[in-house]
Amino acid sequence: MTVVQTERVTSAARDDDAAPAPSFSPRPRGDSPDANALLTASAAGDQEAFAQLYDLLSPAVHGTARAVLRDPDLAAEVMQEVMLEVWRTAPRFDPERGSARTFVLTLAHRRAVDRVRAVQAQRDRDQRVADADNHIPFDSVAEEVEDSMERTRVRGCLGSLTDTQRAAVVLAYYGGRTYREVADELGAALPTVKTRIRDGLIRLRDCLGVAA
């Protein structure tokens, strides 16, 4: 990394309103400098020291992130984030409490774990959306109908429903279909089917005398 590149990165890193910093490009290393001294100098704003620190520790940061994430691309992103965090938080480094390497790799591990949690949280949100779209919820109305009334009484009250409501309810609760499968079988829009089933269950509840 050249001094000019480092100036741009460190300037962006310390300015919260600045545009995202460009990616670091490690430069060939010569003799390995002391990481503690480099991090201490970086804390004082020495951009050349930070460039050397980057070259020295970024491979280990990438390795730590990849061990957690198992994805080289995500690990590379995390490595860039961590090295920017190192520049921002360098003044917190206390050599009496541990080495610079430990300081940096601890940040790397924490950031990688945070990324795993964020990815998993997004997957969980996507799954909940998919489940809501493809499965009929057993809400209080359905539970009251199915749990408190005999099947014969339910069948008798099915006659109080409209033809479209009855067809949707029967397919869903006796045929075990999902909302989407009911919609496909009846040739109706998914929101329409959901409304028919909900209205049908409410009418069943009224017919069976289940308390609201």
With contact defined as beta carbons under 8 Å apart, do 75 and 115 qualify?
no
Q: In terms of residues, how long is the chain?
A: 212
Of the CA atoms within 13 Å of residue 109, those in its CB half-sphere come to 6
Domains and their CATH numbers in the chain: 3-131 (1.10.1740.10), 135-208 (1.10.10.10)
pLDDT values of the chain reduced to their tens digit, one per residue, 212 residues: 444 444 434 444 444 444 344 344 444 443 346 999 999 999 999 999 999 999 999 999 999 999 999 888 888 888 998 999 999 999 999 988 999 999 999 999 999 999 888 878 777 776 776 665 565 555 555 555 555 545 566 667 788 888 888 888 888 766 677 778 888 888 988 888 888 888 887 787 777 775 44
Q: Are 9 and 21 in contact (CB under 8 A)?
A: yes
Q: Cβ contacts of residue 130 below 8 Å, gap of 6+?
A: none
Strands (E), the chain: none
